[in-house]
Amino acid sequence: MPPLAAKYTSTSGKGEFQLNRPIEELTLLLLYLTAWEEEVPLFGVHKRSRKDYSLAALSQLEKDGFIVNSNKSQSVFLTDAGAAMAQKLMQKYLGDKVNLLVNTASGT
C-alpha cells in the first residue's frame, strides 16, 4: 500500500513541502495538539511541544521546515508552516470531531 501524502504549499515562497508518511503526519499532529505557547525573544509567541516521538520522524519534520529542533532541549518549536499543516491534518484525520475537540478545549 503506498504511503499517504499530504502537500502544503508554502506562502513564504520557499516552495512545496511534502510529508510522505502517515507517521510523520500523525507526529506533527500530536506535537500540535500537545503544544503550549511560549514567548521567543525576537520572534514572538510560538507553539512548543515535548519531543517524545520518533527521532526519525522529528528529523524529517525539521528538514521539511515544520519544526525547529535543538539537541540541547527536550522540546521543539512548531514553525508557522508546521502549525498550519497540523491544522490541515486535524481536519484530515479527525474530520467533524475537530469541532468537538476545539469546543471542549476552549470550555464551550
- 51-106 pLDDT, tens digit per residue, is 999 898 999 999 999 999 988 899 999 999 999 999 999 999 888 777 666 555 55
Residue numbers of the domain that contains 37: 6-98
Supply the CATH number for residue 88's domain. 1.10.10.10
Question: Does the pLDDT of residue 3 top 70, yes or no?
Answer: no
Per-residue model confidence (pLDDT) at position 46: 87
Residue 21 lies in a domain: yes
Could you report the per-residue pLDDT of 14-56, keeping only the tens digit for each? 554 555 679 999 999 999 999 999 998 887 898 999 999 989 8
CA 105/CA 33 separation, integer angstroms: 10
CA 21/CA 26 separation, integer angstroms: 9
Per-residue model confidence (pLDDT) at position 42: 82
Asked if 92 and 85 touch (Cβ cutoff 8 Å), the reply is no
Asked if 44 and 95 touch (Cβ cutoff 8 Å), the reply is no
Question: Does the pLDDT of residue 8 top 50, yes or no?
Answer: no
Domain count for the chain, please give it. Answer: 1
